[in-house]
Structure 1
């Protein structure tokens, strides 16, 4: 169900900005996302001659120009952005993005600048993992599960947990949740510690070993440690023939190439450790979904390697009671199950609905107080009104101080 004022113009311009690609499209209810365009991301990795300030200006220009180009052909005034960055889910302040801007973590008021640069649009911004989780949860609404953890393994690594029962994504006091890619990790190979730099500028983070770029760096490091195994590996041969790294790795794993198996084993270990700890802390995680280019492209290889880790070291006691504990919970997302563009649209629709309902609720509170129907128990200017995300055909409204992102 869409907001009444939205139904006459049921279009949202949507963006999905990752560390590898920028995508844009048009969400039209009930058709979904149409007219999708993709280009290489404007990032420090692909444009090393640009300063971070210039990269951010370039991003702003890209968003405004692309939105205006779409608007030339259709009536649309709402734009929603799924951004691969750590951001404050309450107000949209962007804290940083290793894949896009490297070690820079100066606050970026992208939403404010967009409103100033193109005030003809209503702009919304949401973390890309949150957007993907919104879309996945929409299709999982009929499943008998309590919580979903969505973990993306791509140019960056992060996760989000959604409580399906109240459609709530908890945030800390800084508007964050699930920035696991920058957690420190100790990874060893044959008794020797492995050392790698992360895009954020720090050392030995999960993303340094397990992200797409991290796996490339790890591959080079292992090639130095095992030069003979690398030279005769199927992965080395395919890369020398000019095949893309991701495709070559998948083919090498299909052939059970020893070097590639070692590489995937090491790259997935930090992810397995995170998931094992997550289940130990929160046993209500009934479904764990992996998405992102690395996990989706390697698919069964990736999941089977995770299961190998869990067979070597399971969850204390629980794995003894239930040998299928991890197998029942962990899935690799299918191509149509996690769509950040559609998730961005769902987020914007909910934000607009929230705005309407918060005004209506405030009016009702004022009316009730003026007519002595109730005693006021909230500060009408406090802004403590929240709306759950769209998971079913109905909107579930809450009146709480919770944060949604």
Structure 2
């Protein structure tokens, strides 16, 4: 984590950078949040990565008040110790050249104290503050949106373990075992059959296209939620295929980490599809395959799985980034 700030009250600006939106809030929780189109390849495919990165620095520096403490939640693989962004499919496609955003911001606005955290880290901080109980040992937050990533913290030590590059949980770029009919779907990073190639928001569109499920002259966003509500068989098949890799990931997590007591699931896909997504994922998790994978009962899932898809469970990365300022959770290698 790159910061000099130690008190949430002094974080006078917060930003949440995703592949689709850049959200900005000047002041503490409860003040107005302004939303702009993110300077991303997803939104501006005609611009170069260098132009998009420069535009990002411009926008953040323009928004920060003089002498501010700024907490930035970034939807990118990020070294939490140094503030270096390694990559993001939605933001920069296949570009793999690291971007030292923390240094660029400090050089442009040395009067501002900049804190950079991954958006999943910010989401996990907010989820933990709202949902963890006194007996929660390990807690995780999984986001499924234009990208997919996971973050896990050990609340017994208040630590988020990271590797030597300052990373943890970039599961969206792990290979997935795809159905033969769906093999070869491309991830935004340029590699086929990553988890995000199949299970992210854009991945759902790829599955619908491969299966020929999407009717002509209509967008996925217009068709998919309505078709699911109507019980359309083609839409249900698309949802089942998109959820299957996520269910497999969660089974693996609980297999190797029995102390993972609570897992939040959020992001644009979960929010957009709501109960349709929750029902399908729970149904797939209930099913077992052998003596070592007996499936999970409804009551077991009720205790350990939180779907952050409505206002009562909404995760705020702006709030989470500000919570990270007091180091309630620490990224440790």
The alignment's TM-score, normalised by the length of structure 1, stands at: 0.75
Pairing 1:212–2:212 present? no
270-279 or 335-344, larger mean C-alpha shift: 335-344
Q: Which runs of 5+ in 1 are unaligned?
A: 224-229, 351-387, 390-401
How far 1:251 sits from its partner (Å)? Answer: 1.9
Question: 1:94 aligns to what SS in structure 2?
Answer: strand
The one of 245, 260, 270 equivalent to 2:245 is: 270
Question: 1:309 aligns to what SS in structure 2?
Answer: helix
Structure 2 CA distance, aligned partners of 1:4 and 1:256? 51
Deviation track 1:299-339 (CA, whole Å, cap 9, x = no partner) reads: 22111111222233368446379674344322211435410
Does the Cα contact within 8 Å between 1:26 and 1:33 map onto a contact in 2? no
Equivalent residue for 1:50? 47
Structure 2 CA distance, aligned partners of 1:134 and 1:126? 10
The one of 135, 158, 172 equivalent to 1:144 is: 135
Question: 2:215 aligns to what SS in structure 1?
Answer: helix
The alignment's TM-score, normalised by the length of structure 2, stands at: 0.90
CA 1:270–1:216: 2 relative to 1, 3 Å: same
How far 1:55 sits from its partner (Å)? Answer: 0.9
Question: 1:126 aligns to what SS in structure 2?
Answer: strand
Equivalent residue for 2:227? 252
Does the Cα contact within 8 Å between 2:127 and 2:264 map onto a contact in 1? no
Structure 1 CA distance, aligned partners of 2:21 and 2:6? 33
Does the Cα contact within 8 Å between 2:132 and 2:139 map onto a contact in 1? no
Deviation track 1:190-228 (CA, whole Å, cap 9, x = no partner) reads: x534321110011111101111111112211111xxxxx
CA 1:321–1:176: 2 relative to 1, 3 Å: closer
How far 1:4 sits from its partner (Å)? Answer: 11
Equivalent residue for 1:23? 23
CA 1:98–1:18: 2 relative to 1, 3 Å: same
How far 1:144 sits from its partner (Å)? Answer: 3.1
Equivalent residue for 1:180? 171
Structure 2 CA distance, aligned partners of 1:10 and 1:145? 29
Pairing 1:114–2:105 present? yes
306-315 or 146-155, larger mean C-alpha shift: 306-315
How far 1:141 sits from its partner (Å)? Answer: 3.8
Structure 2 CA distance, aligned partners of 1:186 and 1:4? 43
Larger Rg: 1
The one of 312, 320, 333 equivalent to 1:343 is: 320
Question: 1:95 aligns to what SS in structure 2?
Answer: strand
Pairing 1:134–2:113 present? no
Deviation track 1:19-58 (CA, whole Å, cap 9, x = no partner) reads: 0111000242xxx141210011111122112111111111
